[in-house]
Amino acid sequence: MKIYRNGKEIVLTDEEIMEAHAEHIKSFMRNELITVYGLPDEEAEDYSELAYSHYTSGNGYTEYDCIEWAVTIYDLPNLELEDSYLLLWPKGTKKFFSSLDDAVFAAATKVSFPFPAYEQIWILASNDKGKVVPVKKYRSSDLLLEDLWKSLTDVPFDPDSEDRLVLAEPWFNFPAGTDQEEIWAWFDERYSGGVAKLMFPSLFNPSQKEPSETATLLDAVEKKVFSMHSTNPDAFTDPDTILADLFSKVDMQLTGTSEELFNIYRRSGDKQAVKDLFLFFTDISFDEYLQKCIEETASLAVADLKS
């Protein structure tokens, strides 16, 4: 499609046309919610998105049907949501749950992964002023899966007879006794970044701000500890000595150490930093180390054949 602005021809893609159409409808809905129904601007923004999600559900509703439906959700009496959570599926289906986790579980059970970008899943509850407000708005499958992953954090796992970690109690759709790796595989199939990104999100986002606690501790070491050690070196153990002591306690002969190192490299969002750290501690480059592994393993294999 071509449009003209200020004498210039602009070609729009199908996706851009759909986005413009969606924004036009949501803008109309937002304006109606403010001028006709008296919703505050911020809440009108939220509920216009909810109305639009209902509009695109494929049930044949008109724009005004969906605006009125969104208003009925906004006007739910506080008593109806007292100590409970309301889950709204894309096609307007409503169901109440006693806990937020239960509502998240139900949402993850109901939808397919990934669900279409135009669909939204909302979980609502009453705020301290007695007004129904969204506490969760899932505009993508990944956002829902991230919350589901967080709920797994406090679930207990026990070793079984084969020393595998298995669920100590039922969780989500998995029965007690399910292997932890089976659950990880379920997430890995559905989450766009794979289970490794759920486990180590900071490794996949090098631009992410450094945790404030870590930054504070690092400043304390650089400004205070180094300063005290330089003025009175015999009175304090310096960070270099502490680091050397820590390395001396590590059993580097344990099977799987190199495999974990390789996994850290693959998961990292800043692979050069991993390589720099490896060079710093070993005095050879990471590539040299990998080449050494190949050459020495090959030599051993040849020796075994000859013997």
Q: Which residues share a beta bridge with 9? A: 4
SS3 labels along 158-213:
EECCCCCEEECCCECCECCCCEHHHHHHHHHHHCCCHHHHHHCHHHHCCCCCCCHH
Is 228:236 a contact under the CB 8 Å cutoff? Answer: yes
User: pTM of the prediction?
Assistant: 0.53
pLDDT tens for each residue of the chain, 307 residues long: 566 666 667 666 777 777 778 888 989 999 998 998 888 888 888 888 878 877 876 667 788 888 887 887 777 665 455 567 777 765 556 778 888 888 888 888 877 777 765 567 878 777 666 667 777 878 788 889 999 999 898 899 998 888 889 999 999 999 999 999 999 999 999 998 888 888 887 767 655 555 567 777 777 776 666 555 555 556 556 777 787 777 777 766 666 678 778 878 887 777 888 888 888 888 888 888 888 888 776 555 445 544 5
Instruction: Measure the CA–CA gap between 12 and 102, rounded to whole angstroms.
Output: 43
Q: Which residues contact 268 (CB under 8 A, 6 or more apart)?
A: 203, 204, 274
Q: Which residues share a beta bridge with 122? A: 88, 137
